Structure 1
Amino acid sequence: MNILAYTMEEIKDPTNILEGQRFEFLLDIEVDEEDELYTEGGIDLRVIASKNDDAIKIANYFFIQKSDQAILEFGLEEDEEADVLAFITAHITAGE
């Protein structure tokens, strides 16, 4: 899985119910043709990350098929999740 492009946006909580900050990432990812996640039109990975104090973690994520915006019922493998967390952590801390 390779990250080709991304967008990052801070999600504001007007009620101040949630502690810390929330960020939404939309990752344009490339997967190998033999991967079960592969689709001809490509897929995106939407990640909601939370930052509380200095701890950044993945709060939620899901795969989106680009052709019809359908949500795919797949999960990240442990090493892929670690790679995504490292990627988003680097971009959140770089934006500060």
Structure 2
Amino acid sequence: MEIEAYTVEKIKDPFGILSGDRYEFRLEIELAEDDDLHVAGGLYVRAIYRVDGESGGIVKYELYKRLNDAFVDAELEDEEERVLEAFCREHFSEAEE
């Protein structure tokens, strides 16, 4: 899995109901042609990453086709999920406040 481009935004919680901070990532990914999830035009991942103190992790993610924003009802492999989580951990601080 290769991450080609991404955006990250801090999700505002005006009522302070949830602990920690949440960040929404949109990551454009390209998968190998022999990957079961490979589609022409590529996919993007919409991921919610939560940071609470020193700990962080992906709350949820969804896959979409880049060409038409169609939801893809599938999951990444464990190794790909680890890559996704590591990327989010490394880049969440780039979000605008």
Q: CA RMSD in A?
A: 1.3
- Structure 1's consecutive aligned runs of 4 or more residues displaced over 4 angstroms after TM superposition are none
Classify the secondary structure of the residue corresponding to 2:82: helix
The Cα offsets for residues 24-67 of structure 1, whole Å up to 9 and x where unpaired, read as 00001011112111111211011100001111100000101112
Q: Does 1:51 find its partner at 2:48?
A: no
- Give structure 2 stretches of 5+ with no counterpart: none
CA distance in 1, matches of 2:52, 2:10: 13
Deviation, 1:94, is: 6.2
CA distance in 1, matches of 2:18, 2:82: 24
The AA in structure 2 aligned to 1:12 is K
CA distance in 2, matches of 1:4, 1:15: 35
CA distance in 1, matches of 2:93, 2:8: 12
Q: Identity over aligned residues, as a percent?
A: 38
- TM-score normalized with structure 1 length: 0.92
Classify the secondary structure of the residue corresponding to 1:86: helix
Aligned residues: 95
Deviation, 1:74, is: 1.0
Deviation, 1:93, is: 4.6
- Give structure 1 stretches of 5+ with no counterpart: none
CA distance in 2, matches of 1:90, 1:83: 11
Classify the secondary structure of the residue corresponding to 2:9: strand
CA distance in 1, matches of 2:93, 2:82: 16
Paired position in structure 1 for 2:33? 33
- TM-score normalized with structure 2 length: 0.91
